[in-house]
Amino acid sequence: MKSCSIPAAGRFAAGWRIASDRVGVRVAAILTFALLIAYHLMRAAAAACQGGACDFYIPLSLLLPLLVVIAAAVTGILAVISARRRPRWLILLGTAAIVSVVGPSVLLLLLRDSPDAFVVSATISVAVVPLAALIYTFSRRASTIDSMRLGRAAAEGDEGYAHDDPSVPRSIEQDD
């Protein structure tokens, strides 16, 4: 039996993956905000519209809110995955994701007779997860922990491994 390790593509491969996780969360959060802005711009344009030309806004008024909630869910999932080794952030981002995805439905039940109040409340509810995700990705603490971990690995002469999951062994034993 011989033991071999699976090296990564270089010393800083783990750092690249961490950085790419953050970039993915940032892109999803910005996309969620962009969809929210597009919805409000469409709503303002529809309010100013008169006549048969307004029929164009009906499918958009149904599609954009659905896309916003889906984008919030994707942002929440990516943020939770990125924060899986940071319990406090994991709880915070998980809660934010639940508020952003479930919140609009609950608010619709509570504010069904007041559409303007619903739109404002649902916008705030959906904006919770992308805001929390952006704060997480730009937080100094998260960056410091990742830098310390990479610096420690480099100081120990660790070339990095293709996986960072602690449940997966660093070496694989193979039969000759």
> pLDDT digits over 7-52, tens only?
455 444 444 455 677 889 999 999 999 999 999 999 998 888 888 8
In a domain, 13, yes or no: no
Asked whether residue 50 is domain-assigned, the answer is yes
Task: Say if 7 falls within a structural domain.
Answer: no
pLDDT at residue 3 is higher than 90: no
- The pLDDT score that the predictor gives to residue 167 is 53
Q: What is the DSSP letter of 10?
A: S
- Where in the sequence is the domain holding 112, given as residue range(s)? 29-160
At residue 57, the pLDDT reads 85
34-53 exposure pattern, b = at least 16 Cβ within 10 A, e = fewer: ebbeebeebeeeeeeeeeee
Total domains present in the chain: 1
The pTM score is 0.69
Q: How far, in Å, CA of 32 to CA of 131, rounded?
A: 10
Q: Tell whether 128 is covered by a domain.
A: yes
Residue 16 placed within a domain: no
Q: Is residue 56 part of a domain?
A: yes
Question: What is the share, in percent, of the chain residues with pLDDT greater than 70?
Answer: 68
Residues sharing a CB contact under 8 Å with residue 78, sequence separation 6 or more, in sequence order: 21, 24, 25, 28, 133
Pick from 169, 168, 136, 141: nearest CA to 21: 136
Asked whether the predicted pLDDT for residue 6 surpasses 60, the reply is: no
Contact at 8 Å (CB) between 176 and 1? yes
Residue 96 lies in a domain: yes
User: How much is the mean pLDDT over the chain?
Assistant: 79
In the chain, % of residues over pLDDT 90: 50
With respect to residue 124, please indicate whether it lies within any of the assigned structural domains: yes
Two tokens, residue 8? 């990564």
Q: Determine the pLDDT at residue 47.
A: 87
